[in-house]
Amino acid sequence: MATTIHPTAIVEPGAQLGADCDIRAHAIVTRHCVLGDRVVVHPFAVIGGDPQYLKFDPATASGVRVGAGTVIREHVTLNRSIHADQATVIGANCFLMAASHAGHDCILGDHVVLANGVLLAGHVTVGDHTFMGGGAAVHQFCRIGESVMVAGHASITRDVPHFTMVAERDDVIGFNLVGLKRRGFSRQAMAELKAAFHAVYHTPGNIREVAARRLEAQRETTPEARRFLEFFAGGKRSFARARRGADGGGDPA
């Protein structure tokens, strides 16, 4: 199957489209875009538009890159980077539902789902296999980790660590056990994640320092648990906090 550009779609000269893409009627793909194979862009989506940044110079040579197999539904907007020779990046096999938005310089991993009306401000990163519920909004420069479940209408203003569930305003309510089981995480990995979660969130002191000490002590041996602890070493913002009573989830069985 060859790439299809439907009548009334706009694909500007200079845009790069992979094999078997499907650009539906009234969609706009600007010259700043690189789309992988099998990308589907539904009507009225705008891919590669200028960033919503008052100081932006439209002559800046920046772009948007979309990975293979990603589906972009109606009215989605993906803004290009504010920096020369850089790009807003959407990974492979993502599903961006209607009216969702990724601002300039966002980086989304693979298999990310943005439900209807999700709003990502500039410089937000989202890890692989993360699901964001409808109407969720994320502050600029926040990091959303891998395999995170973000509740609908959540307001995220802090970094959210890998493998967790977050709701309301930065409330971590436990681990995303359903998502981890679906990905085939071992019982050992889930048990170590629960122990690391409890140590980080229920030990008095600076959360970065607590996580660093736990990592250095090598109490956790699985790659998943160590990635959870390593998350706290990075970022520019503070961290979402565990809701009172959250213990990392139930029995991993």
Active site residues: 104-105, 122
How many Å apart are CA 37 and CA 68, to the nearest integer? 5
Count of C-beta atoms within a 10 Å radius of residue 135: 17
Please state at what angle helix 187-202 crosses helix 223-230, rounded to 10 degrees. Answer: 20
DSSP helix/strand/coil, 188: helix
How many Å apart are CA 113 and CA 224, to the nearest integer? 21
Q: Measuring CA to CA, which residue among 252, 161, 202 is closest to residue 150? A: 161
